[in-house]
Structures are given as C-alpha cells and as structure tokens.
Structure 1
Amino acid sequence: MSYKIPLFQLNFGEEEIQAVTETIRSKWISIGPKCEELEHLFEEMFHVNYAVSVSNCTDALHLACLLCEIGVGDEVICPSLTFAASVNCIRYVGATPVFCDIIGSEHLNLDPEDIERKITSKTKAIIVVHMAGFPAKMDEIMSIAKKYELKVIEDSCHGPLSEYKGKKLGTIGDVGCFSFFSNKNISTGEGGMLITNNEEMANRAKLLRSHGMTTMSYQRAKGHATSYDIENLGYNFRMDDIRASIAIEQLKKLQVDLDKRVAVRKRYIEKLQQIKNLVVPHADNQEFVSNYIMPIVLENCTSDYRDEVRAKLHEAGIQTSMHYPAIHRFSIYKEHNVSLPQTEYVTGHEITLPMYAALTNEDIDFIAETLNKILNG
C-alpha cells in the first residue's frame, strides 16, 4: 500500500551513493579505514573515549553483556517494552532476564522503584532502553547500580545525540549501544556501534568482534603486522567499510535532521494535546532528544479499539506502527510468568505516528485532525 504520509522517510541522497562508490573503487570494502574514521567521529561527537563499530546493535548488546562479565547464573534487569534484541542478548550469555515495569503512559522508561524491588543476590546488571530517544531516569538508576555494585548497559539505539543533563545517552553507564538499522536516525541498512570510557572493555570488544584475533587483515595489508594470535573465543561481529562510508555521511547530516525533528515534535504536541482520550509520552521533556519515533497512548479503550484506530488511520493514508509488543508475553519468555501492569497497558494502547524531518505542518495537522475525528467524532 502506498501511504500519503509514511511512517518514516530515509534520509539518503547523492552523498551516500558517492561514498559507497568511492569505497568500492578504493578496493577495500571489509572492515578498514572507513570503520576507523566512523569510530573516531563517534568518539568526537559523543565525547567518549572509545567507539567500536560492529555488524548491528544486537551484536553490540551481546558484546556488552560479555564485557560486563555476565554469564550463567546471573540475572539482568531489563524492560519488556523494547525490541527483542535488548532481552535476547541476556540469554545469549546464559543469564536470566528479569523484567521490570515502566513508569507509565507518560514516561515509557524503566521505573527505578521497580528496578530496586527486582534486585536479588544474583543480579549482575541493568539494561536500560531509552525508549523513543527519551532518557530514562539515569540519576536514580546509576545510584541503584552503585548501591548494589551493578553494571549498566545503555541500549541507546533510539537516541543518538539525545541528552540527559548535558550528557549524551550511551555515555552514562558502563557501555552504550547504537543501531544503524534502516529506520534509525543513523541508517546504513545494518550496522551498529559500541561506546565506552573503559579502555579494557574497548580493547576486549575489538578482539571479540573479530574471532579473538590480535590483528585484522587491514592492519596486516598495511604492513603494521605480519601475523596474529587468537586470545579469546570471539565472533564475527565486524562492520564493513561500505556501510561505514554510509554512516559517515549520515553522521554529517544528523544534527540538522534532529533539529528539524524537534520542530516536528513541537507541532505534534501543540496539536495532539488538544485531543481528548490520548496521552503524549514525555510531553514535558526539556532535554534535547533524537525524536526517533512519535508514540501516543490511547486512554479509556481496549487494545482491539486501538487496532481499529490504526486501521482507520491507514485508510486515510497515514501509516502507523506499534513500539513494541511486550517481550514477556512472547512464547519464548512466557515461562517468566511476570505481571507488568504499566507495560501491558502501554503495549495494548500505543500507536506510533509518522516521524521524520521532512514532515510539514500540513502533514502533522492532517494527522491530528484525522486522529481527533476517529477518537472523538
């Protein structure tokens, strides 16, 4: 179906095409100079000591769990309102996810009070997801982590350059993880980045992302080494220079794109707050954020009605989505038998509206007017 207003719009132009062409012509397309350039750009933009490019954010999260020495018998506190990768990574290392509730419809991130209630002698870490690019309550979470000597992994794939009290998301905990999936603020199709201020973690991440090898083929081709050792049981989590070249161009556009999204969200809030029977999460946020998506939560209705509203929006040419189904209700995680009332309400009543920099005031007004007619007649 062709939509009048799609959910998102790829921010690609001739720059990305030219970057890929030049990389192919360089005859070095696997992990190499472009990946290194991208890592240095991340370090500068995020004011962080180390950045390690990887094949996707799932692998970054997997690596983060390994770097935090999470393993069999450990428990990791995590949200259920997230994409599956934020939880699957815990299982990859043999640990047990412990699902924590969110604050509510107005704040979609982990509830610090519920985090502390879920801590046991087996708890090793907390995975924080900054939902929609809006910061979790990091002061409270970091205080809890310090109190119980826990590691903190930030899944910041929704929030490149989003801030919390002047700090970039992903730089507050022990490790930050970012996604370059096709619909993210920084898009390369697939790809990701792990950032940290811990030198030992960064060095280990570089080993583990490439089979545990002490040097890579690019270093050997340039004469910096002639052989290698394998020190750890590693993985193939490498990014390639083709995708890195695209990411470099995306980073150049990022701040301008995010500034435009701020204006889009401001218009959205102005219009949506006039509509009865819905909540705009994080409407009171004063931090600079990426505005990755535009979630709303319906009130006084059922999840079936939410689905009817989405169907009517689609009929009007407005594409929507849901972020996300509750992870703890998937078949693979039902065994945990946990009740998360706030998460369950939001996942049954949330609608993700279109969000991208090129949305016009007319587009936003049409979305709001259509939504108001559906909800309030």
Structure 2
Amino acid sequence: MWKIPLSDLSFGPEEAEAARQVVASGWLTMGERTAQFERELGEALGTPRVLAVTNCTAALHLAYTALSVGPGDEVICPSLTFVATANAALLCGASVVLADIVGDDDLSVDPADIVRKITPRTRAIAVVHYAGYPCDMDAICAIAAERGLAVVEDAAHAPLASYRGRALGTLGDVGCLSFFSNKNLAVGEGGAVIARDDALHARMRLLRAHGMTTLTLDRHKGHAFTYDVVDAGMNYRIDEIRSAIGLVQLGRLAAGNARRRALAARYHERLAGARGIGLPYRDFYARGLGESAHHLMPVLLPEGTSREAVMEAMKARGVQTSVHYTPIHRFSHHGASDRVRKEGLSRTDAIAGRELTLPLHPRMADADVDAVCEALAASLR
C-alpha cells in the first residue's frame, strides 16, 4: 500500500534462524536466551541491572509498583506521550499530573513546569525521551534529589541514546524500554526495565514472575524443586523466541541508529527552507548534550494548516505519516478523570494539531527522504 512506510522492520534470515533454534530447543518460556539478552543489553547500556519483560507498559507498571507508587500519590508526566506512561501510574491507584513541553524546538517535558506542579503528594517524576532525544536530565534529577522524588525514564524511543555520556534509561531510578514492532530494536512485543540499584533490581525480578523465589527453568533443570511466594507479583516475563530475536536485533541497533541520524540530518537540510514548517530538535547536536536514537522524525506544520488534509494528500502519494501524539489530556477518559490534573498545558496545546511524523527507518534510501519532502511540499500547496 505504501511506497514509503512510516517504519519498517530491519529483519533478515538471522532473526528467523534465531527463532527456529528456540523452537527446536523445546524450551519456549523465559530461560537462558533471555538471560543472555539481558546481559548483552546491559553491556551495551553500561549497567548489569537489566530485566527483559513482556512490553514497555509492563515495564512502566513494574517500575511504579517497585517504587511503591499507590493511592494518594501523584506522578508527574508529560501530556505529550503515549498513554501508557500515565495509565501505568493510574493502574497503581495514583493520580497523574500532566506537565507541559519546553516549546516548539524541544518537545520534551519542561523541568520548570515540573517544579510548578510538585505538591506534597508527588512521589515520582516520569520523563519521556520523546522521539529518542534526551530530556534535560541534569535539571530533572536535581529537582528530584532536592525533593526526595523518584525518577522513572520512559526511554521507549531511545535505546542506546545518551545524555552527557550515559545511556538513557540509566540516569533515573528506573528506566523502561520498548521492543514493539516499530521500535529501533524490535521483537514484536517486548520491553525491559533498568534499575539504578541492586535493591530495586531484586524487587522487580520478583515482581516480574509472581513474586516466586525460583523460576520454572530452575525447577526444570533440577536446581530447585519448590518455591516460595514472597510478594504479590505479576506475570511480566518475556519468552525465549522474542529474546532470541532481540539478541540479533541488538547487534543491528548501533548501525540502525546511525542510519537514522543520517536520514534525520537529510530531512533537516531539505526542510530548513520550507516556509512555516517547524523542525523540533534541528539544533540538538549543536548543544553537545548527547546522542539521539532518532526514533521519530517530527515536524510542525504551518499554523492554520489542516493536518488531516496534508496526511490524506501524502497518503495519495504513497507516503505514510502519523501523529505523535494526541496529548493525554485530550482523551475522553483522561479529560474526564478527577485523577488526572491537566492545567497549564498551553505549549502542548499549541503544537498538538500541528505535529506530523514523517517516515524514518534504516531501510530508507536518501531518495526516499527527498520524495517525502517533495510530497510534503506538494501537500501544503
């Protein structure tokens, strides 16, 4: 259907062979390949405290639960994010306080607005490294440290991205990654949690698998014959097929991110002179803060433009586009909920109808970027 899709899997015969080997082994549930995936992912991120889980929503829920977020607490998070960032906190019984973005050039959460929205009930700050670009983690971590708050990093867009030399997902108390089909490292459904310290890592390991003291693989191998349950946990385990695919994908990740960076630079060069089009993060590297994973290519359409008309016109030219995201406070449930505070989001509202996400993935050719830019220009006439 699409000449140029929004995203595309960077899969080859290696992923198929990895899955085949798991099926042939006769052991499908979480086991040795998962342990290897966690170990190698941790080496890439510079931490040994990585746990693979069934998806990033599970990772977020696991993070909030391990941090004892619950009824009566508040979690501050951006409104411009996928809804899971907020939903996982709501499912813990907490209230969510939505924060504004920095502005047109930086769609990350604004540290100054976080400060404005802290109350005595605030327990955690959830940051989102939007599109793969780091938030101002110096400011946010300083705010959290001064007030005794936890920091949860939603790094779903940002595997191997960095801030001042450290991997995103390793700067807060808990980091959360996504391995969904459209992500930089894709396994279909999957995610990971990264703990700052050993105590949180141990608690999340228990909570991931029912609070059991031994795993099914331990009992299968005869290393244990029974188990105790020491906490009320969930079943957030990943399976061996996805972990095996993840190992192959991890080997492709750095090169894939580098290709994304080159494509994003070409977009910024081609669109720099386009009248009325905003280019968030265009000057990111000039600031010397770190490395983006370039998961998304967001642009801001000229004010007054019908985004739906532009998307339809680009669709007619075979170019797939999307929106990241409808702000959380504009959804029916969250807009009506008395457990979601949604005041003071003027900058988010100002860009909400203008953001358009263009295709970006490692399989794109330079000529594809040129074709997308030409289609966008033609669709704005």
Task: Normalising by structure 1, report the TM-score.
Answer: 0.97
Q: Secondary structure at the match of 1:194?
A: strand
Contact 1:258 1:357 survives alignment (8 Å): yes
| Residue 157 of structure 2: aligned partner | 158
Contact 1:56 1:193 survives alignment (8 Å): yes
TM alignment of 1:1-377, pairs within 5 A: 2-286=1-285, 287-302=290-305, 305-335=306-336, 336-375=341-380, 377=381
Shift of 1:134: 0.4
Shift of 1:373: 2.7
Distance of 2:182 and 2:171 partners within structure 1: 25
Contact 1:152 1:174 survives alignment (8 Å): yes
Distance of 1:68 and 1:298 partners within structure 2: 39
Cα shift readout 1:50-81 (whole Å, capped 9, x = no counterpart): 01111110010001001111111000100111
Q: Segments of 4+ in structure 1 off by > 6 A?
A: none
Cα shift readout 1:98-129 (whole Å, capped 9, x = no counterpart): 00000112101100110000000000010000
Contact 1:328 1:338 survives alignment (8 Å): no
Shift of 1:227: 1.1
Distance of 1:45 and 1:58 partners within structure 2: 22
Contact 1:49 1:198 survives alignment (8 Å): no
Cα shift readout 1:185-212 (whole Å, capped 9, x = no counterpart): 1111101100113111111111111111
Distance of 2:40 and 2:2 partners within structure 1: 36
Shift of 1:374: 2.7
Contact 1:8 1:356 survives alignment (8 Å): yes
Q: Secondary structure at the match of 1:103?
A: strand
Shift of 1:339: 4.1
Distance of 1:278 and 1:52 partners within structure 2: 41
> Given residue 42 of structure 1, which amino acid in structure 2 is its aligned partner?
L
Shift of 1:345: 2.1
Shift of 1:299: 2.6
Q: Secondary structure at the match of 1:18?
A: helix
> Given residue 2 of structure 2, which amino acid in structure 1 is its aligned partner?
Y
Distance of 2:17 and 2:352 partners within structure 1: 41
Gaps of 5+ in 2: none
Cα shift readout 1:14-47 (whole Å, capped 9, x = no counterpart): 0000000001111110000011011101110000
Distance of 1:228 and 1:144 partners within structure 2: 41
Distance of 1:233 and 1:353 partners within structure 2: 43
Contact 2:98 2:342 survives alignment (8 Å): no
Q: Secondary structure at the match of 2:68?
A: coil
Cα shift readout 1:79-104 (whole Å, capped 9, x = no counterpart): 11111110001111100000000011
Distance of 2:317 and 2:74 partners within structure 1: 46
Q: Secondary structure at the match of 2:299?
A: strand
Q: Secondary structure at the match of 1:280?
A: coil
Shift of 1:158: 0.2
Shift of 1:310: 1.1
Q: Secondary structure at the match of 2:204?
A: helix
Contact 1:131 1:158 survives alignment (8 Å): yes
Gaps of 5+ in 1: none
Contact 2:99 2:344 survives alignment (8 Å): no
Q: Percent identity?
A: 43
Between Structure 1 and Structure 2, how many residues are aligned?
Answer: 373
Cα shift readout 1:114-162 (whole Å, capped 9, x = no counterpart): 0000000000010000000000111111111011110000000100001
Cα shift readout 1:329-364 (whole Å, capped 9, x = no counterpart): 111111345341111122211100000112112111
Distance of 1:374 and 1:43 partners within structure 2: 44
